[in-house]
Amino acid sequence: MLPKASATQQMYKKQITLSIDDKKVYYIDKEPYAFEQLEMKLQELFTGVEDRTIVLRVDKNLAVQDLVDVLELGAKQDIKMVMATAK
């Protein structure tokens, strides 16, 4: 049996997928967003989450700067980012 407490805090892991297509449309778990909306949406999705991870799926024809812009958003919020690749 565990002791009781009046206040609890829940911290857990969460992983989402962020995709960017060749037209620079950003998708969070298949839902489209403008780049300007990403930072606020990521904050919302990861509120109260201790271990934050994003799997990046980026079109191979995009500029490196597009990837860097997304990586900076993750760095601001201490989010781990992993890039998905094809075999």
Q: What is the pLDDT of residues 2-52, one digit of tens each?
A: 566 565 555 588 999 999 999 999 999 999 999 999 999 999 999 989 899
Whole-number Å distance between alpha carbons of 6 and 14: 25
Q: Please name each of the domains of the chain with its CATH number.
A: 14-83 (3.30.420.270)
In sequence order, the 6+-apart residues with CB closer than 8 A to the CB of 38 are 18, 26, 28, 70, 73
Q: For residue range 52-77, what is the model confidence (pLDDT) as tens digits?
A: 999 999 999 999 999 999 999 999 99
Per the CB < 8 A criterion, the answer to whether 58 and 67 are in contact is yes
